Structure formats: structure tokens, C-alpha cells
Amino acid sequence: MKYNFILLVVIASLQAFSQPNSNPLNPKITAKWAPTGLLVGSASFQAEYNFGGKHSLTANIGLPVNVQHSFTYDGRDAFFDMKATSFLAGYRTYLSRKRLAGLYLEPFFKYVHHTSEGEGTGTLDNQPVTFDFSNEYNAVGVGLQLGAQFLISKRIVIDLFFLGPEINSAQNTLRAIERSTVLQWNAVEAKEAEDNIREFINQFPFIRNKTNVMVDQNNRTVTADFKGALPGFRAGISLGLAF
């Protein structure tokens, strides 16, 4: 009798597990946060809508948050506060049969507006000086993203976007204003200020030989303008939930 009861329990359990779930978890939407966006001053949030197969629409919005980075100016550290606003839209195709999971290819369009302000010290004509810096960057571009997305228990999402070459139409303006004095620059100071800005720009590939540098001696200002095609690379990780 005891063994018959156990057998009935086992059979009932197997039948219960074999019953189709009346409300299976079959997510179509993901909501994610990309912590890597904080490196450039952006709180980056992503959303994805799946059509019911291999294809999804994706959107990414980046909201500005303040982050500080240092760069070398005239042999010293110059500290910049940076913020970025961005938008990205993509059409994702998964290479596996799983919905919202596996390797994928994603052509995308993006827009970025990045601003930064900073302060640095140096010398002009052997005299110590202090500069206020401002930089404004705007770009629109297209690219192709290769990545892999993982679904854990059909709810937790890990999205690795690890190879994303892109090309942008970009415009950048860097301005440096000396605030140590109200006197205009002499010829030596103006030349040194221009050389220091050119050396600063040389830290950044692709724009260093394509930037127009102008000096305003009366207002103790150097302006560096770039406008043109600029290659880029998109990579990072995002974490979130599927619904």
C-alpha cells in the first residue's frame, strides 16, 4: 500500500510537469542600463522590442551626468568636467534561433552631443599662466554592431556589444582662454599658446592633422576647430530585464 501511494505521487508529478504552461514566460521587450556610458559622462539606457523571431528594434538614450577626466596640457594635468547626450536607433538580427539571445548583427544610427569644461596651467614667455578650457563636440554617424546577448532564466539580460565600427560626420570646437591677466599677448606668448594647443590636440588621433587653430592675441584666446569624417568604435556591456 505504501509503495502504491508513492507510485501514484510520482505519476501525478510527472503528469503535472508534462502539462503545458498556461502562461509561459515569452518576453518580447528588454530594458537595460549600460554602465560603460558613465566613462564619457552619460547615463545610458537601452530598450529593445522583438517582433517574434530573429529581428528587433533597439533604442538607446544617453542622459548627461558629470564625470571628470585629466589630460596633459603643457606638461601638466588639466582636469575636465565632461557630459554627453546621445541617441541611438538600431535594427538587430540574431544569428541563432533563440528569441532575444545569441550572437547578433545590428546596423545603427547615432547622434552625440558632448561638452566639457576644464582648467589647466602652463607657461607663456617663461611666465606661469592659467587657462580655462571649453570643448563642444557634435556628431551623427552610422555603424554595424556585432554582439551577444544572454538571457538568464528568461528574465535577466546581459548584452555584450563588443565590435562596433562606425563612421561619423563630426564637428568639434576647443577654446582656451588665459585668465591670469587682462593684458593682450605679445607675439612670443601668442606663438607659445598656439604651439601648446597643437601639442594638446596631437593626443587625439584622426583630428590632430585636420584641425584649424586660430589665435586671438587681444582676448588671449586660442580656438581649434575640426569638421569632417571621424571613425569610431562602439563597445560595452548593458544589464537589465526582459518582459
- pLDDT tens across the length of the chain (243 residues): 433 433 333 333 334 334 444 445 789 999 999 999 999 999 999 999 999 889 999 999 999 999 999 999 999 999 999 999 999 999 999 998 888 999 999 999 999 999 999 999 999 999 999 999 999 999 999 999 999 999 999 899 999 999 999 999 999 999 999 999 889 999 999 999 999 999 999 998 889 889 999 999 999 999 999 999 999 999 999 999 999
Residues 243 and 241: their CA atoms lie apart, in Å, by 7
Phi, psi of 12 (to 5 degrees): -65, -40
Which pLDDT belongs to residue 59?
98
Q: How many angstroms separate the CA atoms of 32 and 43, rounded? A: 11
Cβ distance 71 to 99 under 8 Å?
A: no
Domains of the chain: 27-242 (2.40.160)
Q: Which pLDDT score, from 0 to 100, does residue 24 have?
A: 59
The predicted model scores a pTM of 0.86
Give SS3 for 196: helix
